[in-house]
Amino acid sequence: MTSDENHAHALIRGRHSVRAFQPTPVAGEVVRRILATAARSPSGTNMQPWQVYVLAGGARDALVERVRAMRAAEPERERGPQPFGEYVYNPEPLEEPYRGRRKAVGWSLYSLLGVAQGDRAASWVAAGRNFEFFGAPVGLMFTLDRTLGMGSWLDLGIFLQSVMLAARGEGLDTCCQAAWRHYHDVVRQIAPISDQEIVVCGMSLGYADAAAVANTLRSEREPVAAFARFITTAPSAQPHVTPAEQCDATS
């Protein structure tokens, strides 16, 4: 591989969800450069359906304060059984193997943070760090037009990965956060997001705090053999059977 190809692999392998940031400011020109690079992401028929709202300074701090107050007043927003929000991220109950993977990463993080299993008060506090952008000085909000379909959600996912990788290229880290959907109405109080848009997720952006224990977490990934099938031989041709012929054969 060329050095550029090696660099691409290193960026992807080096990306992980950072949950503790330094307060060091991120220059607006750097954020613009990240977004300009991410805008090269592919999208169906070049629709480029994403919208991004960049929150920093007083706007970012106001959102954090308002959500902190809302969490204290309406804790049921996050506790379910159907969390408050514009869409359901996962079906519940979640089936295996997805349930096991979610549980494993959750308890791996909580064990690092010293949150004991069953300690709901401590887990509530830990979850609340989401809504402080984990201390990051920049918060990004991503939206889609409500009239668009599943294909645009796919396009947005590709765009999100591009943002995260471009950030790594700038020496920055990120944490993508669907949890912000619980407080889409509060986000709208700060950012000029129209009712025509769905608040899909947020993202923390900043310089990682290397000393934070939360940032030592590296979630596991399945091996290629567990999710990929390499098919090199065409199946033998099967005679086409019409519904009428099938009926005659089984009558």
The mean pLDDT values, 10 residues at a time, for the chain of 251 residues are 81 96 98 98 98 98 97 84 78 94 95 93 94 98 98 98 98 97 96 97 98 95 97 83 57 44
Output the CA–CA distances (angstroms, integers) from residue 188 to 3, 183, 197, in the order listed.
Answer: 43, 9, 10
Residue 77: predicted pLDDT: 83
| Rg (the chain; Cα; Å) | 22
Q: How many Å from the N-terminal Cα to the C-terminal Cα in the chain?
A: 61
Q: Which phi and psi (to 5°) does residue 130 adopt?
A: -55, -45
Token pair in block for residue 123: 């887990």
Residue 1: predicted pLDDT: 67
CATH of domain 10-225: 3.40.109.10
Residue 101: predicted pLDDT: 96
Q: Where are the chain's structural domains?
A: 10-225
